[in-house]
Structures are given as structure tokens and as C-alpha cells.
Amino acid sequence: MEAYWKMRQVIGVLFRLLTRLEIIGAEHIPAEGGCLLVTNHISRLDTPTLLVAAPRRIYPLAADKYKTFPVFNWLLNISEVVWINRTEFDREALLNSIAVLKRGDVLGIAPEGTRSRSGALQKAKPGVAFLAARTGVPVVPVGITGTNTMVSDFSRLRRMHICVRFGEAFYLPKYGKLTAEELEATTELIMGRLAALLPPPYRGVYAASPPVFAATS
């Protein structure tokens, strides 16, 4: 536990030096109890950004391919990451994720499953709806912008402007075992809430979702 907060402190110092980090709505994360943080994924910087921006400890769900990246492997292991095999159904990862939520901790997940090269939201996988429905925890959408400009900003010797916008926590309209159709509809609901936190160019396939929260460009 102590190692996590020391690591977070170090990352926080680096972010203050190298970025202009804007955090909006962090108070929407429940102060205690299990919670599912649902974010878009546009850069490898998204996970450290989320760790710094959230007031509570985050247990990230991450693709096991990052085990081959020394820095990310170190960071994620200190965070007690839940590794998942994205190429096949990973029952162990789902069970480990459920355990994190049921013991009252915060799980961070990017439902798209992989980084968006364009920065716009891609079609999400139903695992996020499955986890929320099976555990009954609140969902907090998180819209991240600016992390995908790292290379261009650093090449111009300018600090990245990163914005992390937390939406209001909400509960699903139905919990327990969902049908395939209900999982799809619930995933659409969750991603619609996330899309509404992002500027229009970032909303991608969820651009037509009803605007639940205001988002600035």
C-alpha cells in the first residue's frame, strides 16, 4: 500500500513539471465502497494520469501485453493490476475484477479494450456492463483528453494540457444476470455517459448518444 502512494507521489511531481493537468469533478468518486471507473483510452499515459487524478487508490485492469514494457509493468504491478488477456475470454481476470469491487475498492477499466489511434471512442466490449451488473457498484465515467499529444508537445518543448473530467456516479437500471441484449444496451448506456464528458471529436461511435453531462471542447 505504501509503495503505491509513493509511486503516485513521484508521478504527480513529474506531471506537475511536464504537463498542465486539469482535474474536474473528482468529488464524484464515492468516498468509500466499490466503484467502477470507466474511461476512454487514447494513450499509454492514460493509466498514470488516472492514478494521479483520482483521490482514491485505483486498481487498473490492463492488457497482459504490457508485461513486456518494463516501466509500465513496474507501475501496474505496484498498482496491483488485474491482468487480462484481450485475445480470448479471460474468466480469471473477470473473477479478479469482481473481487476488487466486492471488497470495496475502485477498479479502473477502458471498455474499448485497446487504444484509439484517432482519439475517438471505438465500440466498447460488454465486459464493463457485466462487471457493473454482477457487483451492483456505482459507475463513474471519466473522460480524458490531451494525453495523445505527448510526442508532438514534447518535440515542441511545450507542456501537455491534459484534462480529466469525472462524471457523476450512477447505478444501472438493472443488476444481476443480464441477457446478451441487456448487456449490449447497458454498455451503450455506460458509453453514452462517457461520451458526454468528451468534446465532440472524441465521441466517435457514441457521438449520437444523448448528452447526459455537459462537456467543453
156 vs 49, 102, 120, 153, 177, CA distance in Å? 21, 45, 24, 5, 51
pLDDT of the residue at 197: 96
Averaged pLDDT, 27-44: 96
pLDDT of the residue at 36: 98
Instruction: Name the phi and psi angles at 146, rounded to 5.
Output: 100, -20
pLDDT of the residue at 212: 46
Most trustworthy range by pLDDT among 7-11, 100-104, 157-161:
100-104
pLDDT of the residue at 1: 63
pLDDT of the residue at 41: 95
Starting at the edge strand found earlier in the chain, the sheet holding 58-63 runs: 19-24, 160-166, 139-145, 35-39, 106-109, 58-63, 82-84
43 vs 84, 116, 118, 148, 150, CA distance in Å? 18, 8, 10, 5, 9
Sequence ranges of the domains in the chain: 2-206
pLDDT at residue 215 greater than cutoff 50 = no
pLDDT at residue 210 greater than cutoff 60 = no
Give the integer Cα–Cα distance in Å for 48 and 15: 9
Name which CATH class applies to 2-206: alpha beta
